[in-house]
Structure 1
């Protein structure tokens, strides 16, 4: 009985060992396909590293379903616009040692799977950027080879931060990004991406793409070649002023560049009016006015909420223009109070710091003249007697003619 129990324990231990051994074999099997990186001008790469051929790592992000190797082009187009922070949020990243051989770089110990790789080598003197999707499988018996071309020198990341004067982020503000030539000509940049995250890509057409700040008030641009650039604000938020026409920055090496753009709210103010009789100062109701601004010698209606701003005096003769940006305005009377002559000239008023003050009490008085009533002119007593005499003569003559046989 004891021997039987002991035999069972031995068998259990052997079975466990076999399972562990098999598991180890499986793990090794899925990790045995080495990755060979063949770089353009590889010998220049080795020379530029000045003998520092150790301590280099390749960072890869493992892609899960629904991504497949058949979507390689679409995946690259999507992910190349992301920064590393977003990649790390969406995928599992891992680093693997790079071994420099005579004609290639070998990376081992990458488990089978679908991966995205961006930077192959990135130092202050040399940069090889991948943006490559590759897949390692059990079926491969030869090293998986990837050929990588030398990248143009780029900045690590450029961030634009858009805020108001109280450091509140401003979303959905539109900017153009332009590179400055020696003759100060602005050249539009070929960029891909959306929702605040963009990436330079020389394979797309150069245009004046409008970049929009995200919910954090940020625009992130990566992969820009070295040079001088300008962010140009082209679509400000309603109610905010553009403080300066552009914001210039310089890229001289791999670096983080932050451009802070602060916009102040457009100052607003109010104006009060009183409509009165020109002689008695009696309050006049139901006078209607259109508010305008003068642009190039033309009076343009002021719009609020997409509609022309029209004001009507109340029973107390009062009316008010509210929330107007600082500037000079004109009101035109388009309907006078009943019994009064309509004004034919505009009345100007200015919205400034006074109108933005809560204690503001200034009132513009608008006076109307009463329309004169129609009266029978007084021609004098003699004219009246003469008319009475002529009437009597005519009456008598008519009576005589009627009675005559």
Structure 2
């Protein structure tokens, strides 16, 4: 049958185009759903068992409970960062590091947790290796816990049953202090290479050398003039400069500072560091070359004396 009517031919073409468009949209929807299903299937969930869970559950089930603590901080590791390629050894090593130290080495993210009858529940975790910490305080008292998780070898397993390790309170709290070494002129030039010995104040009020691993602790300023005294017990300390930057005089006075809860990086990881600025006075060029001048002067005097002796000897021979 021939279609002589142009309107009919146009309608058929439009209908065919409409069917093609519907097929394309349907294909996109099917593809998106397939990708979404694959993404969902590649995430994992956790059942986390921790100490004192009944007490925690009762506290956070109350109407006035602060639920902002119901989260985990997860640091992502690659397999090369595992200690001896062993999860337990890595857990024991990372246990000794503060959150601030961990954030300088690994990428971290937060994931919410829910309270079930007998365990904490988390979901939506992607494939990888993670060091995980959480803290669920009850009545102002911390309940910290940690574990390490490797989903990369899970196979078909999509849910993990974890028994978290409790993190006890540190017997001796520690903190850090930060410093900046600069010139004392208007430029405030950062100075590298300044070396300081660290001293700690005793109960008798005397500053004595502070030792770490049996050796006197020393610190040195970097290219940007910055340096720090880190992970030392709370107390009163002093820095004594024993090597000045090249071309500068030693600082005459000891630098006193106090490490306390305001400088505890575990408790105040988001607080801006207090920084003590230490200045050095530039040594005048004449003073820096004093030894050379003395040597030259001695040589000149010796040459004069030698010349006089030679002249006197010649005069005697002439007589």
Please give the TM-score of this superposition, normalised by the length of structure 1: 0.52
User: What's the counterpart of residue 215 of structure 1?
Assistant: 223
Q: Call closer, same or farther: CA 1:67–1:310 in 2, change over 3 Å.
A: same
The 2-side partners of 1:174 and 1:130 are apart by: 39
Q: Does 1:248 align with 2:247?
A: no
Does residue 142 (structure 1) correspond to residue 160 (structure 2)? The answer is: yes
Larger strand percent: 1
Is the contact made by 1:35 and 1:108 (CA closer than 8 Å) also made in structure 2? no
Retained in 1: the 8 A contact 2:175–2:261? no
Q: Which runs of 5+ in 1 are unaligned?
A: 191-204, 272-290, 293-301, 313-329, 343-369, 378-405
Any idea what the Cα deviations from partners look like across 1:69-117, whole Å, max 9, x if unmatched? 82655798699779859946x7543222244567655443332212345
Alpha carbons of structure 1 residues 269 and 237: separation in structure 2 relative to 1, 3 Å: closer
Cα gap change, 1:115 to 1:142, in 2 (>3 Å): closer
Alignment match, 2:7: none
What is the distance in 2 between the residues matched to 1:42 and 1:180?
45
Find out whether 1:311 has 2:261 as its counterpart.
no
**Offset at residue 251 of structure 1 (A):** 0.6
205-214 vs 7-16, greater mean Cα deviation = 7-16
User: Cα deviation per residue 1:304-363 (whole Å; 9 max; x = unaligned)?
Assistant: 6xxx95216xxxxxxxxxxxxxxxxx9994333554159xxxxxxxxxxxxxxxxxxxxx
2:8 maps to what in 1? none
- In the alignment, which residue of structure 1 is the partner of 2:68? 55
Contact 2:241–2:250 at 8 Å: present in 1 too? Answer: no
- Aligned equivalents of 1:170 and 1:46: distance in 2? 56
Note if 1:94 corresponds to 2:109. Answer: yes
CA contact (8 A) 1:161 1:258 kept: no
Secondary structure of the residue aligned to 1:228 is strand
Unaligned runs of 5+ in 2: 1-11
Q: Offset of 1:15 from its aligned partner?
A: 3.6
- For residues 223-261 of structure 1, the C-alpha deviation after alignment (integer angstroms, 9 at most, x for no partner) is 554333334434332432223134221313444552414
**Is 1:340 the equivalent of 2:282?**
no
- Mapping of 1:160-199 within 5 angstroms? 160-166=179-185, 167-183=188-204, 184=206, 186=208, 188=210, 190=212
Show the counterpart of 1:352.
none
- Summarize the Cα distance change of 1:134–1:213 in structure 2 as closer, same or farther, 3 Å threshold: farther
For the residue of structure 1 that corresponds to 2:216, the secondary structure is coil
Change (3 A) 1:248 1:68: closer
* CA distance in 1: counterparts of 2:147 and 2:211, whole angstroms: 23
- Deviation, 1:55, is 0.9
Aligned to 1:120: 134
Q: 1:4 to 1:266 in 2, by over 3 A?
A: closer
Larger deviation, residues 211-220 vs 147-156: 147-156
1:143 aligns to what SS in structure 2? strand
CA distance in 1, matches of 2:54, 2:224: 42
Instruction: Report what 1:237 is aligned to.
Output: 245
Structure with the bigger RCO (C-alpha within 8 Å, sep 6+) is 2
CA distance, structure 1, for counterparts of residue 174 and residue 226 of structure 2: 17
TM-aligned CA distance change 1:311 to 1:208, over 3 Å: same
Q: 25, 31, 35: which one pairs with 1:19?
A: 31
